[in-house]
Structure 1
Amino acid sequence: MRESQTESFKNVSVYTDSMTERDSKNSFSVRSQTKVERLIEEYDLEGIGEELEQRWTEKGEERDSLRTLANVFNMRILEQAMRSVGMNPIEGEVENNYKLLTDENASRGVETEVRNRLEQEGIDIEALCKDFLTYQAIRTYLKDIREASLDLNTENRIERAQSSFGRLIGRTTAVVEQKLEQLKTANELTLGTFSVHTTVTIYCEDCKMQSNVNELLRTGGCKCDPNSK
Protein backbone atom coordinates (compact mmCIF):
# COMPACT_ATOMS: atom_id res chain seq x y z
CA MET A 1 0.00 0.00 0.00
CA ARG A 2 2.87 2.37 0.81
CA GLU A 3 5.27 1.49 -2.03
CA SER A 4 6.91 4.46 -3.71
CA GLN A 5 4.72 5.84 -6.41
CA THR A 6 5.35 8.03 -9.40
CA GLU A 7 4.15 11.56 -8.70
CA SER A 8 1.24 12.65 -10.83
CA PHE A 9 1.20 16.33 -11.82
CA LYS A 10 -1.50 18.20 -13.66
CA ASN A 11 -0.95 21.00 -16.14
CA VAL A 12 2.68 20.09 -16.90
CA SER A 13 3.75 21.14 -20.39
CA VAL A 14 7.07 20.03 -21.95
CA TYR A 15 8.45 21.87 -24.98
CA THR A 16 11.30 21.13 -27.39
CA ASP A 17 14.70 22.86 -27.49
CA SER A 18 13.27 25.43 -29.90
CA MET A 19 11.46 27.25 -27.04
CA THR A 20 12.10 30.94 -26.61
CA GLU A 21 13.56 32.16 -23.29
CA ARG A 22 10.13 33.46 -22.23
CA ASP A 23 8.48 30.15 -23.09
CA SER A 24 11.13 28.30 -21.10
CA LYS A 25 10.39 30.29 -17.95
CA ASN A 26 6.68 29.60 -18.17
CA SER A 27 6.73 26.04 -19.50
CA PHE A 28 5.86 24.36 -16.20
CA SER A 29 2.80 25.05 -14.10
CA VAL A 30 2.80 22.49 -11.31
CA ARG A 31 0.22 22.26 -8.53
CA SER A 32 1.17 20.04 -5.64
CA GLN A 33 -1.34 17.37 -4.66
CA THR A 34 -3.60 17.87 -1.70
CA LYS A 35 -3.68 15.18 0.98
CA VAL A 36 -7.08 14.04 -0.29
CA GLU A 37 -5.80 13.63 -3.85
CA ARG A 38 -2.74 11.75 -2.63
CA LEU A 39 -4.83 9.34 -0.58
CA ILE A 40 -7.31 8.74 -3.40
CA GLU A 41 -4.38 7.69 -5.58
CA GLU A 42 -2.55 5.74 -2.87
CA TYR A 43 -5.58 3.76 -1.73
CA ASP A 44 -7.05 3.41 -5.22
CA LEU A 45 -10.32 5.12 -4.31
CA GLU A 46 -11.46 5.77 -7.86
CA GLY A 47 -14.77 7.62 -8.05
CA ILE A 48 -14.88 8.77 -4.45
CA GLY A 49 -14.29 12.39 -5.43
CA GLU A 50 -17.49 12.47 -7.47
CA GLU A 51 -19.35 10.69 -4.67
CA LEU A 52 -18.22 13.19 -2.03
CA GLU A 53 -19.18 16.13 -4.24
CA GLN A 54 -22.61 14.68 -4.98
CA ARG A 55 -23.35 13.93 -1.34
CA TRP A 56 -22.22 17.40 -0.23
CA THR A 57 -24.21 19.29 -2.86
CA GLU A 58 -27.48 17.37 -2.49
CA LYS A 59 -30.44 19.59 -1.66
CA GLY A 60 -32.22 19.75 1.65
CA GLU A 61 -32.00 16.91 4.15
CA GLU A 62 -30.26 14.66 1.63
CA ARG A 63 -27.04 16.69 1.94
CA ASP A 64 -24.25 15.17 4.03
CA SER A 65 -22.15 17.33 6.33
CA LEU A 66 -18.39 17.69 5.89
CA ARG A 67 -17.83 15.69 9.09
CA THR A 68 -19.94 12.83 7.73
CA LEU A 69 -18.01 12.88 4.46
CA ALA A 70 -14.69 12.81 6.31
CA ASN A 71 -15.86 9.71 8.17
CA VAL A 72 -17.01 8.11 4.90
CA PHE A 73 -13.59 8.76 3.33
CA ASN A 74 -11.71 7.45 6.36
CA MET A 75 -13.74 4.25 6.48
CA ARG A 76 -12.98 3.64 2.79
CA ILE A 77 -9.28 4.00 3.62
CA LEU A 78 -9.62 1.53 6.47
CA GLU A 79 -11.50 -0.93 4.27
CA GLN A 80 -8.84 -0.74 1.55
CA ALA A 81 -6.09 -1.23 4.12
CA MET A 82 -7.86 -4.32 5.48
CA ARG A 83 -8.39 -5.80 2.03
CA SER A 84 -4.79 -5.07 1.01
CA VAL A 85 -3.52 -7.51 3.67
CA GLY A 86 -5.98 -10.22 2.71
CA MET A 87 -8.75 -9.47 5.17
CA ASN A 88 -12.35 -9.79 4.00
CA PRO A 89 -14.39 -7.57 6.34
CA ILE A 90 -17.98 -8.55 6.93
CA GLU A 91 -20.86 -6.07 6.96
CA GLY A 92 -20.43 -3.49 9.71
CA GLU A 93 -16.88 -4.56 10.62
CA VAL A 94 -15.16 -1.59 8.98
CA GLU A 95 -17.53 0.91 10.57
CA ASN A 96 -17.16 -0.72 13.98
CA ASN A 97 -13.35 -0.81 13.78
CA TYR A 98 -13.25 2.81 12.66
CA LYS A 99 -15.45 3.91 15.53
CA LEU A 100 -13.28 2.08 18.05
CA LEU A 101 -10.12 3.61 16.57
CA THR A 102 -11.40 7.19 16.56
CA ASP A 103 -14.12 7.56 19.20
CA GLU A 104 -12.74 9.26 22.30
CA ASN A 105 -15.45 7.57 24.37
CA ALA A 106 -14.54 4.07 23.21
CA SER A 107 -13.18 1.62 25.76
CA ARG A 108 -9.38 1.74 25.82
CA GLY A 109 -9.25 -2.00 26.24
CA VAL A 110 -11.42 -2.68 23.20
CA GLU A 111 -9.52 -0.08 21.15
CA THR A 112 -6.21 -1.74 22.02
CA GLU A 113 -7.65 -5.12 21.07
CA VAL A 114 -8.71 -3.82 17.64
CA ARG A 115 -5.33 -2.15 17.08
CA ASN A 116 -3.44 -5.32 17.99
CA ARG A 117 -5.62 -7.48 15.78
CA LEU A 118 -5.18 -5.22 12.74
CA GLU A 119 -1.44 -4.91 13.34
CA GLN A 120 -1.13 -8.70 13.53
CA GLU A 121 -2.80 -8.84 10.11
CA GLY A 122 -0.06 -6.56 8.78
CA ILE A 123 -1.64 -3.08 8.92
CA ASP A 124 0.49 -0.16 10.10
CA ILE A 125 -2.09 1.39 12.44
CA GLU A 126 -0.07 4.50 13.28
CA ALA A 127 0.42 5.34 9.62
CA LEU A 128 -3.20 4.53 8.84
CA CYS A 129 -4.57 6.81 11.55
CA LYS A 130 -2.32 9.63 10.33
CA ASP A 131 -4.01 9.28 6.94
CA PHE A 132 -7.47 9.85 8.40
CA LEU A 133 -8.84 13.17 7.18
CA THR A 134 -10.48 16.06 8.99
CA TYR A 135 -13.58 17.83 7.72
CA GLN A 136 -11.35 20.83 6.87
CA ALA A 137 -9.38 18.72 4.38
CA ILE A 138 -12.60 17.53 2.76
CA ARG A 139 -13.91 21.09 2.52
CA THR A 140 -10.68 22.32 0.88
CA TYR A 141 -10.76 19.45 -1.60
CA LEU A 142 -14.39 19.99 -2.57
CA LYS A 143 -14.27 23.77 -2.81
CA ASP A 144 -10.75 24.40 -4.13
CA ILE A 145 -9.96 21.29 -6.17
CA ARG A 146 -13.37 20.13 -7.39
CA GLU A 147 -14.74 23.70 -7.30
CA ALA A 148 -17.98 22.44 -5.78
CA SER A 149 -20.38 24.75 -4.00
CA LEU A 150 -23.56 24.42 -2.01
CA ASP A 151 -26.93 25.42 -3.33
CA LEU A 152 -27.22 29.20 -2.98
CA ASN A 153 -30.40 28.86 -0.93
CA THR A 154 -28.57 26.65 1.56
CA GLU A 155 -25.63 29.04 1.79
CA ASN A 156 -27.95 32.01 2.16
CA ARG A 157 -29.89 30.38 4.99
CA ILE A 158 -26.68 29.65 6.85
CA GLU A 159 -25.40 33.17 6.28
CA ARG A 160 -28.68 34.66 7.48
CA ALA A 161 -28.58 32.48 10.60
CA GLN A 162 -25.00 33.54 11.32
CA SER A 163 -25.93 37.18 10.87
CA SER A 164 -28.96 36.83 13.14
CA PHE A 165 -26.96 35.06 15.85
CA GLY A 166 -24.27 37.70 15.58
CA ARG A 167 -26.76 40.50 16.20
CA LEU A 168 -28.32 38.66 19.15
CA ILE A 169 -24.93 38.00 20.73
CA GLY A 170 -23.96 41.62 20.18
CA ARG A 171 -27.13 42.88 21.87
CA THR A 172 -26.68 40.48 24.77
CA THR A 173 -23.12 41.65 25.26
CA ALA A 174 -24.19 45.30 25.20
CA VAL A 175 -27.01 44.74 27.71
CA VAL A 176 -24.79 42.85 30.15
CA GLU A 177 -22.09 45.47 29.85
CA GLN A 178 -24.60 48.29 30.45
CA LYS A 179 -26.18 46.64 33.51
CA LEU A 180 -22.83 45.89 35.10
CA GLU A 181 -21.70 49.46 34.54
CA GLN A 182 -24.88 50.79 36.16
CA LEU A 183 -24.39 48.58 39.23
CA LYS A 184 -20.76 49.61 39.44
CA THR A 185 -21.63 53.32 39.21
CA ALA A 186 -24.27 52.93 41.95
CA ASN A 187 -21.64 51.31 44.21
CA GLU A 188 -23.72 48.14 44.32
CA LEU A 189 -21.02 46.11 42.63
CA THR A 190 -17.26 46.09 43.00
CA LEU A 191 -15.73 45.71 39.60
CA GLY A 192 -12.56 47.04 38.01
CA THR A 193 -12.04 47.76 34.34
CA PHE A 194 -13.90 44.99 32.56
CA SER A 195 -15.00 43.66 29.20
CA VAL A 196 -17.81 41.26 28.32
CA HIS A 197 -17.33 38.31 26.00
CA THR A 198 -20.43 36.40 24.95
CA THR A 199 -20.40 33.02 23.25
CA VAL A 200 -23.13 30.49 22.49
CA THR A 201 -22.09 26.87 22.98
CA ILE A 202 -24.03 23.98 21.47
CA TYR A 203 -23.85 20.56 23.10
CA CYS A 204 -25.24 17.50 21.31
CA GLU A 205 -26.66 15.01 23.78
CA ASP A 206 -26.28 12.14 21.29
CA CYS A 207 -22.69 12.38 20.02
CA LYS A 208 -21.43 14.52 22.93
CA MET A 209 -19.98 17.11 20.56
CA GLN A 210 -19.53 20.62 21.93
CA SER A 211 -19.06 23.58 19.64
CA ASN A 212 -19.78 27.27 19.41
CA VAL A 213 -22.67 28.15 17.16
CA ASN A 214 -20.58 29.70 14.36
CA GLU A 215 -18.32 26.65 14.15
CA LEU A 216 -21.37 24.39 14.06
CA LEU A 217 -22.87 26.28 11.13
CA ARG A 218 -19.55 26.46 9.32
CA THR A 219 -18.87 22.72 9.50
CA GLY A 220 -22.39 21.63 8.69
CA GLY A 221 -23.32 19.94 11.94
CA CYS A 222 -22.20 17.63 14.70
CA LYS A 223 -20.80 14.08 14.53
CA CYS A 224 -24.19 12.39 14.44
CA ASP A 225 -25.19 10.33 11.42
CA PRO A 226 -27.90 12.39 9.68
CA ASN A 227 -29.50 9.18 8.43
CA SER A 228 -29.86 7.62 11.87
CA LYS A 229 -32.99 9.55 12.85
Structure 2
Amino acid sequence: MSGYGCKVCRILDEYGMERYEKQLLQQWQADQSQRKGYRQLADWFNTLMLRREMDRAGLSTLGDEAESKYERLQSEKAIAEEVATELSNAGVPTEQLRKDFVSYGVIRTHLKDCLDSDVELSSGEWEREAIEISQDHATTKIEEAIRSLQNKEKLSAGSEITVSVNVELECENCHTRVPADRAIRREYVCDCDD
Protein backbone atom coordinates (compact mmCIF):
# COMPACT_ATOMS: atom_id res chain seq x y z
CA MET A 1 0.00 0.00 0.00
CA SER A 2 2.99 2.29 -0.40
CA GLY A 3 2.18 5.79 -1.51
CA TYR A 4 -1.23 5.71 0.20
CA GLY A 5 -2.14 6.74 3.72
CA CYS A 6 -4.48 3.76 4.16
CA LYS A 7 -6.64 1.26 2.28
CA VAL A 8 -9.42 3.83 1.79
CA CYS A 9 -6.93 6.27 0.21
CA ARG A 10 -5.83 3.53 -2.21
CA ILE A 11 -9.37 2.55 -3.13
CA LEU A 12 -10.47 6.15 -3.65
CA ASP A 13 -7.61 6.51 -6.14
CA GLU A 14 -7.76 3.12 -7.87
CA TYR A 15 -11.55 3.12 -8.25
CA GLY A 16 -11.67 6.79 -9.28
CA MET A 17 -13.86 7.61 -6.28
CA GLU A 18 -11.98 10.65 -4.94
CA ARG A 19 -15.07 12.84 -5.18
CA TYR A 20 -16.82 10.66 -2.59
CA GLU A 21 -14.29 11.43 0.15
CA LYS A 22 -16.03 14.73 0.93
CA GLN A 23 -19.37 12.92 1.17
CA LEU A 24 -17.82 10.32 3.50
CA LEU A 25 -16.56 13.07 5.79
CA GLN A 26 -19.86 14.97 5.67
CA GLN A 27 -21.80 11.86 6.73
CA TRP A 28 -19.38 11.37 9.62
CA GLN A 29 -19.58 15.00 10.76
CA ALA A 30 -23.33 15.49 10.28
CA ASP A 31 -25.67 16.45 13.11
CA GLN A 32 -26.16 13.66 15.64
CA SER A 33 -29.54 12.70 14.16
CA GLN A 34 -28.08 12.36 10.64
CA ARG A 35 -24.57 11.16 11.49
CA LYS A 36 -23.50 7.70 10.32
CA GLY A 37 -21.30 5.49 12.44
CA TYR A 38 -18.20 3.65 11.23
CA ARG A 39 -20.06 0.45 10.36
CA GLN A 40 -22.75 2.35 8.42
CA LEU A 41 -20.04 4.30 6.58
CA ALA A 42 -18.16 1.10 5.72
CA ASP A 43 -21.36 -0.45 4.34
CA TRP A 44 -22.12 2.73 2.37
CA PHE A 45 -18.57 2.85 0.97
CA ASN A 46 -18.53 -0.84 0.02
CA THR A 47 -21.96 -0.60 -1.59
CA LEU A 48 -20.76 2.41 -3.56
CA MET A 49 -17.79 0.38 -4.88
CA LEU A 50 -20.09 -2.49 -5.83
CA ARG A 51 -22.60 -0.15 -7.52
CA ARG A 52 -19.85 1.40 -9.66
CA GLU A 53 -18.60 -2.03 -10.75
CA MET A 54 -22.15 -3.21 -11.48
CA ASP A 55 -22.70 -0.08 -13.59
CA ARG A 56 -19.47 -0.77 -15.51
CA ALA A 57 -20.64 -4.33 -16.19
CA GLY A 58 -24.00 -3.04 -17.46
CA LEU A 59 -26.04 -4.47 -14.59
CA SER A 60 -29.07 -2.66 -13.20
CA THR A 61 -28.47 -0.67 -10.05
CA LEU A 62 -31.92 0.89 -9.89
CA GLY A 63 -33.60 1.02 -6.52
CA ASP A 64 -31.69 -0.89 -3.87
CA GLU A 65 -30.21 -3.49 -6.22
CA ALA A 66 -26.58 -2.78 -5.22
CA GLU A 67 -27.49 -2.66 -1.51
CA SER A 68 -29.29 -5.99 -1.83
CA LYS A 69 -26.34 -7.62 -3.61
CA TYR A 70 -23.89 -6.24 -1.03
CA GLU A 71 -25.99 -7.53 1.88
CA ARG A 72 -26.16 -10.96 0.26
CA LEU A 73 -22.38 -10.94 -0.32
CA GLN A 74 -22.02 -10.45 3.44
CA SER A 75 -24.48 -13.19 4.39
CA GLU A 76 -23.97 -16.91 4.91
CA LYS A 77 -21.43 -18.63 2.70
CA ALA A 78 -23.80 -20.40 0.28
CA ILE A 79 -25.78 -17.26 -0.49
CA ALA A 80 -22.64 -15.10 -0.70
CA GLU A 81 -21.00 -17.52 -3.15
CA GLU A 82 -24.13 -17.71 -5.29
CA VAL A 83 -24.25 -13.89 -5.59
CA ALA A 84 -20.48 -13.68 -6.17
CA THR A 85 -20.73 -16.20 -9.02
CA GLU A 86 -23.70 -14.36 -10.53
CA LEU A 87 -21.83 -11.04 -10.42
CA SER A 88 -18.60 -12.56 -11.76
CA ASN A 89 -20.45 -14.17 -14.67
CA ALA A 90 -21.86 -10.73 -15.50
CA GLY A 91 -18.39 -9.19 -15.61
CA VAL A 92 -18.03 -7.75 -12.10
CA PRO A 93 -14.53 -8.41 -10.67
CA THR A 94 -16.11 -9.86 -7.55
CA GLU A 95 -13.04 -11.54 -6.07
CA GLN A 96 -10.98 -8.33 -6.18
CA LEU A 97 -13.93 -6.27 -5.03
CA ARG A 98 -14.41 -8.46 -1.95
CA LYS A 99 -10.72 -8.06 -1.10
CA ASP A 100 -11.11 -4.30 -1.43
CA PHE A 101 -14.19 -4.04 0.79
CA VAL A 102 -13.29 -2.07 3.90
CA SER A 103 -14.10 -2.75 7.54
CA TYR A 104 -15.38 -0.19 10.00
CA GLY A 105 -11.88 -0.08 11.51
CA VAL A 106 -10.37 0.95 8.17
CA ILE A 107 -12.98 3.71 7.81
CA ARG A 108 -12.17 4.86 11.34
CA THR A 109 -8.43 4.98 10.55
CA HIS A 110 -9.08 6.98 7.39
CA LEU A 111 -11.30 9.52 9.14
CA LYS A 112 -9.07 9.94 12.17
CA ASP A 113 -5.56 9.58 10.75
CA CYS A 114 -5.80 10.55 7.08
CA LEU A 115 -8.47 13.24 7.41
CA ASP A 116 -7.85 14.18 11.07
CA SER A 117 -11.61 14.51 11.38
CA ASP A 118 -12.26 14.15 15.06
CA VAL A 119 -11.32 17.77 15.69
CA GLU A 120 -14.93 18.38 14.68
CA LEU A 121 -16.42 16.08 17.32
CA SER A 122 -18.62 17.96 19.75
CA SER A 123 -18.67 17.56 23.48
CA GLY A 124 -20.05 14.15 24.37
CA GLU A 125 -19.11 12.61 21.02
CA TRP A 126 -16.23 10.49 22.32
CA GLU A 127 -18.62 8.66 24.64
CA ARG A 128 -21.02 7.85 21.81
CA GLU A 129 -18.08 6.82 19.67
CA ALA A 130 -16.75 4.52 22.41
CA ILE A 131 -20.14 2.81 22.71
CA GLU A 132 -20.40 2.42 18.93
CA ILE A 133 -16.87 0.99 18.63
CA SER A 134 -17.60 -1.47 21.44
CA GLN A 135 -20.88 -2.53 19.80
CA ASP A 136 -19.16 -2.98 16.44
CA HIS A 137 -16.35 -4.99 18.01
CA ALA A 138 -18.79 -7.22 19.91
CA THR A 139 -20.89 -7.73 16.77
CA THR A 140 -17.85 -8.72 14.72
CA LYS A 141 -16.63 -11.20 17.35
CA ILE A 142 -20.09 -12.75 17.75
CA GLU A 143 -20.50 -13.03 13.95
CA GLU A 144 -17.15 -14.85 13.78
CA ALA A 145 -18.21 -17.24 16.55
CA ILE A 146 -21.60 -17.90 14.89
CA ARG A 147 -19.94 -18.58 11.50
CA SER A 148 -17.55 -21.00 13.20
CA LEU A 149 -20.44 -22.83 14.85
CA GLN A 150 -22.25 -23.02 11.51
CA ASN A 151 -19.14 -24.34 9.76
CA LYS A 152 -18.81 -27.02 12.46
CA GLU A 153 -22.52 -27.81 11.95
CA LYS A 154 -23.25 -27.03 15.61
CA LEU A 155 -25.71 -24.28 14.74
CA SER A 156 -28.22 -24.07 11.93
CA ALA A 157 -31.10 -21.89 10.86
CA GLY A 158 -33.71 -21.92 8.12
CA SER A 159 -32.19 -18.78 6.66
CA GLU A 160 -29.22 -16.49 7.23
CA ILE A 161 -28.39 -15.49 10.79
CA THR A 162 -28.14 -11.82 11.67
CA VAL A 163 -26.32 -10.69 14.79
CA SER A 164 -27.62 -7.66 16.61
CA VAL A 165 -25.86 -6.20 19.66
CA ASN A 166 -27.91 -3.66 21.57
CA VAL A 167 -26.76 -1.67 24.58
CA GLU A 168 -29.43 -0.91 27.12
CA LEU A 169 -29.26 1.23 30.24
CA GLU A 170 -31.31 0.39 33.33
CA CYS A 171 -32.18 2.53 36.33
CA GLU A 172 -31.57 0.40 39.42
CA ASN A 173 -34.27 2.30 41.28
CA CYS A 174 -37.30 1.92 38.97
CA HIS A 175 -35.86 -0.72 36.59
CA THR A 176 -36.72 1.29 33.48
CA ARG A 177 -34.65 0.00 30.56
CA VAL A 178 -33.95 2.02 27.42
CA PRO A 179 -31.54 1.70 24.50
CA ALA A 180 -28.34 3.63 25.23
CA ASP A 181 -28.57 5.74 22.08
CA ARG A 182 -32.10 6.86 22.99
CA ALA A 183 -31.12 7.67 26.59
CA ILE A 184 -28.11 9.69 25.42
CA ARG A 185 -30.13 11.51 22.78
CA ARG A 186 -32.84 12.56 25.25
CA GLU A 187 -30.29 12.95 28.10
CA TYR A 188 -32.04 10.74 30.69
CA VAL A 189 -32.81 7.09 31.36
CA CYS A 190 -35.93 7.63 33.47
CA ASP A 191 -37.70 10.31 35.45
CA CYS A 192 -38.16 8.46 38.73
CA ASP A 193 -36.11 11.12 40.57
CA ASP A 194 -38.45 13.91 39.46
Superposition TM-score, scaled by structure 1 size: 0.53
- 1:78 and 1:71 map into 2 onto residues whose CA distance is 10
- 1:128 and 1:159 map into 2 onto residues whose CA distance is 28
Letter matched to residue 81 of structure 2: T
The question of 1:130 aligning with 2:99 is answered: yes
User: Shift of the alpha carbon at 1:103?
Assistant: 2.4
Indicate the residue corresponding to 2:72 in structure 1: 100
The question of 1:68 aligning with 2:52 is answered: no
User: Shift of the alpha carbon at 1:156?
Assistant: 4.9
- 2:58 and 2:12 map into 1 onto residues whose CA distance is 20
Q: Deviations over 1:8-54 (max 9, x none)?
A: xxxxxxxxxxxxxxxxxxxxxx9534211111112121321111111
CA RMSD of aligned residues (A): 3.4
The question of 1:146 aligning with 2:115 is answered: yes
**Measured at CA, do residues 73 and 148 of structure 1 come closer, stay the same or move farther in structure 2, by a change above 3 Å?**
same
Indicate the residue corresponding to 1:84 in structure 2: 56
- 2:80 and 2:126 map into 1 onto residues whose CA distance is 42
The answer for unaligned runs of 5 or more in structure 2 is 132-137, 143-160, 169-180, 182-194
The answer for unaligned runs of 5 or more in structure 1 is 1-6, 8-29, 162-200, 214-220, 222-229
**Measured at CA, do residues 53 and 160 of structure 1 come closer, stay the same or move farther in structure 2, by a change above 3 Å?**
closer
Indicate the residue corresponding to 1:209 in structure 2: 164
Residues 59 and 151 in structure 1, CA contact (< 8 A), matched pair in contact too: no
Once the two structures are aligned, what percentage of the paired residues are identical?
A: 29
Superposition TM-score, scaled by structure 2 size: 0.62
User: Shift of the alpha carbon at 1:141?
Assistant: 0.7
**Measured at CA, do residues 39 and 114 of structure 1 come closer, stay the same or move farther in structure 2, by a change above 3 Å?**
same
Question: Larger Rg: 1 or 2?
Answer: 1
User: Shift of the alpha carbon at 1:86?
Assistant: 2.4
Indicate the residue corresponding to 2:16 in structure 1: 44
